[in-house]
Structure formats: C-alpha cells, structure tokens
Amino acid sequence: MKNTFGNSITITLFGESHGEQIGAVLDGVPSGILVDIDYIKNQLSKRRPFGCISTGRVEKDEFSIVSGVFNGYTTGTPICLLIPNSNTSSKDYDQLKYLPRPSHADYTANIKYNGFQDYRGGGHFSGRITAALVAVGAILQRALEEKGIYVASHISLLRGIKDKSIDGLDDLVSVNCKAFPVIDDDVAVQMQKEIENAGEQGDSVGGVLETVVLGLPAGIGEPWFDSLESLISHAMFSIPGIKGVEFGAGFSFANGYGSQMNDAFVLEGDQVRTKTNNNGGINGGISNGMPIVFRSVVKPTPSIYKEQQTVNLNTMQEQVLEIKGRHDPAIIHRARAVVNALTAITIADALAVKFGTDFLNKING
Ligand SMILES: Cc1cc2nc3c(=O)[nH]c(=O)nc-3n(C[C@H](O)[C@H](O)[C@H](O)COP(=O)(O)O)c2cc1C
C-alpha cells in the first residue's frame, strides 16, 4: 500500500502542499468514540509554526469532518477529514520544477512521477500533509488516554544540548502542554536560541525526539513482521525528515555487556516489571508492560537560504540554487505532534489486531 498504513485501523493520506485541500481517511475505528474537537485543535496547534523559530507560512488548519462522525461520536464507518490550504505562495516554487533542492524529495519525485508531480511547495512530500495526520491521530490519542495509555515526545537532543528524560506521567502531561516540547525550561531556551541562530544564518538544524508510551499492557505486537518495533519504525520512517529510529538503549547496546544491559525482572505487587528499561518496553517484538521508549532523529530542514549546488534538470548543468519560499530553520518541535499522532494510530492498530475492532472496551479494564 502506498499512502495507506495499518492493519485493522488504517490511515490514508492525500493532498499536496499548494493543492486545494489536504486530508486523511481513518478507517477501522470502533463506533462510540468521542470526537473531541477542542482536543484535535490543541494537537494541531502543536504542529503549527510559532515565533521566530518557524516558517512564515501559518495556516489556520480549519478542518471539516465529512464522514464517520455523528453527534460528536464515531459511527464506526470511515472518518474523512479535510483541511483547506489557503496561505500558499506558489510562485516561490517555480524554480523547483527544474532545480531540485538538495535533501528534499524534489529530485526523487521528479524521477518517480516522470515530471508530472505537483512540485509547488514540495507537493505531496511537504510537511503540510502531516496536518491531516495529526488531526485524525488526535481522535485515537484522546481515546487511548481514556484507557490510561498516554503518548508524549520531547526534544531529547539538539546540536549537543540535552534535555532530561521523561520520568513518569507528570513529566509526560507537562511536556504535552508545552508549545516547545522540552522538559527542562532552561534547556528549552538554549535550544530555541540555537534554532534562531541557525535561522539568522540562513541555515537549519535537526535533533532527536524521544517518545514514551505509558500504560500499554504487556502482550501487544505480532512477530515477526508486525512486531511492535517493526510497526513503530515503519510509521516513524514515513514521516518526512525522520532518518533514524532506536528503541530503549538503542545503538548504545553496542558498548555494554549483557550483564549491564539485560533488564532484570522484578515483582511490583503481583505485577512483573523490569528493573531497568534498556529494551524500551519491547521483547521479541511484544510489549512487556514497561513504558515503550524510542527515539527518532529529525534531520535539519532541507530548504535553507544559503546558496547550495544543484543540477538543472532542464539543461543538465550544475547550478547554484538560492531557495525562496517560507521554511522552518527547524522542524523538530513541529514534528513532535506528528510523531505523537502516528504513534497513537500505530498503538491503536496493534491493540485492534489483538483484541478486535471493539478493542477500546477490552484494554486496561
Ligand atoms: C512538520 C514538518 C514540516 C516540514 N517543513 C519543511 C520545510 O518548511 N521545508 C523543508 O525543506 N522541509 C520540510 N519538512 C521536511 C521535508 O518534508 C522532508 O525532508 C522531505 O520530504 C524529504 O523527505 P526525507 O527527509 O524523509 O528524505 C518538514 C517536515 C515535517 C514533518
């Protein structure tokens, strides 16, 4: 499947950055789920650009739900959500028809679609498309919270500046309320300064988003190929700009001994837990009841205002590219909402595969 992801619950994305509308279809969601419009708006606000660390293209993200919701609750049929594009400035992108931006999808899309792709604003590869994903993902994120399953992400690393880890539900709730997703407020100031500095120089920066899922019961995931790690990383790598995913101790497993890295089992009351969580809450592709912890690296925004070298696909000559248009010096703070939404969709799907369509009635009591 190309623009569709999921097994029991599926999301389909459509639209282009400067097309009339973007949208998403969410299918397989059980009936009777509250669709909290304010909650959806709040998640969308986390994806929207803000301050001087983001693009000048600010869309209102006014959405309409045209099917699958009646009297404020899901009906069980496909939910189609539409968001019009209004704040477009397509003439800024005329040059991109033949001058592909380094590190963006302009060149590969041109090759794949034989030049028929909508290149304006990055077309179907634009971060803009993620607005619809965030909106429909919010329906499931809210539903999971009702069942005690919480998702949050924070910027754990940005050009050497490190945030502290999410430690329990209080940190998770607090970071989810913040416009700039960093737990330590002093660290947040430093990171924003770093983004501003890059922007002033016409440059961009990336960083690492750490995601935590609390409250997921043990036993979720379908080895081999739909293991929880496989599903989550498939989802994360679908997000434009994400170039690496690691779980728990991740690549630092390479430096430790088994005796240091194994997560010893302990009893907390009658619950089996682990003393450490180096495996990020997953063993054998199945959740073990500990928090799910994974990190995704977001690359520096490809569109920068510094001069770059490219190839003119018309003349087949090397050429200097000066990018116009409106671009974020960093996308990581905005990508947080996208990561959370797609994590919620992925977790909800994995639960639906195990428990069936009415899964929300069967988890965590
Ligand atoms: C929320 C969000 C906003 C984005 N905004 C921009 C942008 O303003 N300029 C840009 O060059 N890339 C932006 N990107 C990243 C590109 O869409 C992405 O790098 C490009 O499609 C190439 O895909 P790849 O990086 O996964 O290879 C954004 C990504 C996201 C998730």
pLDDT digits 0-9 by tens, 81-129: 999 998 766 666 778 889 999 999 999 999 999 999 999 989 999 999 9
Mean pLDDT of the chain: 94
pLDDT on residue 35 = 97
Whether residue 157 contacts residue 209, with contact meaning beta carbons closer than 8 Å, is answered with no
Please identify which residue in the block is written with the tokens 């693009």.
55
Q: 286: which 2 tokens?
A: 């199945």
Give yes or no for residue 331 CB within 6 A of ligand 1.
Answer: yes
Question: What average pLDDT does this structure show over 280-301?
Answer: 98
Domain 4-361: CATH architecture, name and number where available: 4-Layer Sandwich (3.60)
DSSP 217: P
What are 176-208's pLDDT values in tens digits?
Answer: 999 999 999 999 999 999 999 999 999 999 999
Above pLDDT 90, what percent of the chain? 88
Dist. CA 335–CA 301, nearest whole Å = 11
DSSP 3-state percent helix, strand, coil across the chain (nearest 5): 35, 25, 40
pLDDT band at 362 (very low <50, low <70, confident <90, very high): confident
Whether residue 341 contacts residue 141, with contact meaning beta carbons closer than 8 Å, is answered with yes
Give yes or no for residue 128 CB within 6 A of ligand 1.
Answer: no
Give yes or no for residue 338 CB within 6 A of ligand 1.
Answer: yes
Q: Which atom of ligand 1 is nearest to the CA of 299?
A: 25
pLDDT on residue 145 = 97
Q: Which residues contact 286 (CB under 8 A, 6 or more apart)?
A: 218, 219, 220, 221, 223, 227, 228
Q: Which residue is closest in CA terms to ligand 1's atom 22?
A: 104
Q: Which residue is closest in CA terms to ligand 1's atom 3?
A: 127
Q: Ligand 1 mean position to 314 CA, how many Å?
A: 24
Number of other CB atoms surrounding residue 119 within 10 Å: 25
Give yes or no for residue 241 CB within 6 A of ligand 1.
Answer: yes
Q: 220: which 2 tokens?
A: 């979720």
Dist. CA 236–CA 124, nearest whole Å = 17
Packing angle of the helix pair 130-146, 332-355 (nearest 10 deg): 50
Q: Which atom of ligand 1 is nearest to the CA of 105?
A: 22
Give yes or no for residue 221 CB within 6 A of ligand 1.
Answer: no
Please identify which residue in the block is written with the tokens 């089992």.
265
Give yes or no for residue 125 CB within 6 A of ligand 1.
Answer: yes
Give yes or no for residue 17 CB within 6 A of ligand 1.
Answer: no
Q: Ligand 1 mean position to 190 CA, how many Å?
A: 23
Cβ burial, residue 190 (10 Å; 0-12/13-18/19+): middle
Pocket test for ligand 1, best of 328, 332, 336 (most atoms within 8 A of CB): 328
Q: Which residue is closest in CA terms to ligand 1's atom 24?
A: 241
Measure Cα distances from 88 to 162, 185, 276 in Å.
35, 34, 49
The pLDDT of residue 340 is above 90: yes
Whether residue 49 contacts residue 328, with contact meaning beta carbons closer than 8 Å, is answered with yes
Q: How many residues are present in the chain?
A: 365
Nearest to 26 by CA among 354, 364, 352: 352
Q: Which atom of ligand 1 is nearest to the CA of 101?
A: 11
Give yes or no for residue 105 CB within 6 A of ligand 1.
Answer: yes
Dist. CA 109–CA 112, nearest whole Å = 5
pLDDT band at 326 (very low <50, low <70, confident <90, very high): confident
Nearest to 235 by CA among 213, 255, 203: 213
pLDDT on residue 86 = 86
Q: Ligand 1 mean position to 266 CA, how many Å?
A: 43
Whether residue 340 contacts residue 43, with contact meaning beta carbons closer than 8 Å, is answered with yes
Q: Domain residues of the chain, as ranges? A: 4-361
Number of other CB atoms surrounding residue 161 within 10 Å: 18
Give yes or no for residue 342 CB within 6 A of ligand 1.
Answer: no
Give yes or no for residue 248 CB within 6 A of ligand 1.
Answer: no
Whether residue 316 contacts residue 248, with contact meaning beta carbons closer than 8 Å, is answered with no
Q: Which residue is closest in CA terms to ligand 1's atom 5?
A: 127
